[in-house]
Amino acid sequence: MSMNESNHSLSSNASEYSTTTGQIEVENPKMSMRNVDVSYGDKQAIFNVNLDIAKNEVISMIGPSGCGKSTFLRCLNRMNDTIESCKVSGDLLLEGQDIYDPKLDVVPLRARVGMVFQKPNPFPKSIYDNVAYGPHIHGLANTKFELDEIVEKSLKKAGLWDEVKDRLDQPGTGLSGGQQQRLCIARTIAVSPEVILMDEPCSALDPIATARIEELIDELSANYTIAIVTHSMQQAARVSHRTAYFHLGYLVEIGSTDDIFTNPSHKLTEAYITGRFG
Ligand SMILES: Nc1ncnc2c1ncn2[C@@H]1O[C@H](COP(=O)(O)OP(=O)(O)O)[C@@H](O)[C@H]1O
Ligand SMILES: [Mg+2]
């Protein structure tokens, strides 16, 4: 059954899902989004989304293909700025600061809110340089010794150090897919982000590499706030504390991951998690 057919049978009226079910506020928000609308040209992709992201939580975003997960995630570090037709409106705050303030420099913003993409995309440089590049351009190291330290620490946090410590001068692109994705995570970590955005980071990986990344997400959540888009409900259930369910550009439901998967409140969430469409 296609998504459109199921939309007709499950809900033909946006009023049934245009207000979010569940608690959008958290006590100690790292990021806070209100009334977020996003359009590509005259096509609206996100409708009035309101959501807080708590410090050190892992929040997953799920929903059928095309429901706006990537679009919403990319708002959080202004990655949509790179798409000319894309217009974002609403209030988007990082630690209370408006990230869409025209005076704000997006380069340091994207260091504070880093991003890991679907397909591992290491630079065509050595393993060392992939990790050292960010700290170097952001001036985070004064000496080669300090830079070496950041590279080692970042690779350790990304769970890759033992596998690459003897070949740091070799190209990052020569690693396996799972190692490349951990290298990209190391590269993100190297500039000391506060928030890490991940857009389907395991979709190009085999199950073993996926399990390794999922373990890593769990370890990283001690120090970072993580927002992950995933098409895998099992993954969302395994890695996240809260889950947000999107449908046709609306945030339909937000709740604890346990509740969303065992006792969802909205019929569309229930239909999705029980596999009736997606
Ligand atoms: N660069 C783009 N230009 C125009 N439309 C886009 C672009 N990216 C996404 N869209 C549209 O926005 C909607 C949401 O897409 P997306 O955020 O990629 O959804 P998801 O990640 O949930 O699959 C879709 O209708 C999609 O076609
Ligand atoms: Mg997507």
CA angle 132, 138, 142 (to 5 degrees): 70
Q: Which residues line ligand 1 (CB under 6 A)?
A: 40, 45, 63, 65-71, 83, 85
Report CA(271)–ligand 1 centroid distance (Å). 22
Mean pLDDT in residue range 30-36: 98
Residue with CA closest to ligand 1 atom 27? 66
pLDDT score recorded for residue 2 = 46
**For the chain, how far is it from start to end, CA to CA, in angstroms?**
9
pLDDT score recorded for residue 20 = 96
Best residue for ligand 1 mutational test, from 40, 83, 117, 229 (most atoms within 8 Å of Cβ): 40
In the structure encoding, which two tokens stand for residue 149, read together?
């330290």
Q: Which segments of the chain are extended strands (E)? A: 29-40, 43-54, 58-62, 86-94, 97-98, 113-116, 195-199, 225-229, 242-247, 250-256
Look over the chain and give the mean of its residue pLDDT values, rounded to a whole number. Answer: 94
- For ligand 1, what atom is nearest to the CA of residue 65? 23
pLDDT in tens, 159-208: 999 999 999 999 999 999 999 999 999 999 999 999 999 999 999 999 99
Residue with CA closest to ligand 1 atom 2? 40
pLDDT confidence bin for 16, thresholds 50/70/90: confident
pLDDT score recorded for residue 1 = 42
Range of the domain at 161: 3-9+19-273
Q: Is 118 within the bounds of a domain? A: yes
pLDDT confidence bin for 13, thresholds 50/70/90: confident
Rounded CA-CA distance 31/80 in Å is 17
Residue with CA closest to ligand 1 atom 9? 71
Q: Is 278 within the bounds of a domain? A: no
Quick one: which ligand is closest to 203's CA?
A: 2
pLDDT at 21 over 50: yes
pLDDT score recorded for residue 194 = 98
pLDDT score recorded for residue 278 = 66
pLDDT in tens, 44-96: 999 999 999 999 999 999 999 999 999 999 999 999 999 999 999 999 999 99
Q: Is 155 within the bounds of a domain? A: yes
Which string of DSSP letters, residue by residue, matches 215-239? HHHHHHTTTSEEEEE-S-HHHHHHH
pLDDT score recorded for residue 10 = 53
- The sign of the dihedral angle between the CA atoms of 259, 34, 117, 109 is negative
Q: Which of 6-10, 44-48, 124-128, 148-152 has the lowest mean pLDDT?
A: 6-10
Quick one: which ligand is closest to 250's CA?
A: 1
Q: Is 14 within the bounds of a domain? A: no
72 C-beta neighbours (distance < 10 Å), count: 26
pLDDT score recorded for residue 5 = 45
Quick one: which ligand is closest to 72's CA?
A: 1
pLDDT confidence bin for 40, thresholds 50/70/90: very high
Rounded CA-CA distance 277/268 in Å is 9
Residue 6 amino acid letter: S
CA angle 265, 203, 76 (to 5 degrees): 65
Count: domains in the chain? 1
pLDDT at 12 over 70: no
Domain with 113 in it: what CATH number?
A: 3.40.50.300
Instruction: Mention every residue, 6+ apart, whose C-beta is less than 8 A from residue 77.
Output: 99, 106, 109, 110, 112, 113, 114, 115, 195, 197
Quick one: which ligand is closest to 67's CA?
A: 1
- For ligand 1, what atom is nearest to the CA of residue 43? 5
- For ligand 1, what atom is nearest to the CA of residue 69? 22
pLDDT score recorded for residue 217 = 96
What is the percent of the chain with per-residue pLDDT over 90, rounded to a whole number?
Answer: 92
Instruction: Mention every residue, 6+ apart, whose C-beta is less than 8 A from residue 13.
Output: none
Query: How does 231-257 read in b/e, with b if 16+ C-beta sit within 10 Å?
Result: bbbebbbbbbebbbbbbbbbbbbbbeb
pLDDT at 139 over 50: yes
Residue with CA closest to ligand 1 atom 25? 66
What are φ and ψ of residue 140, in 5° steps? -85, -10
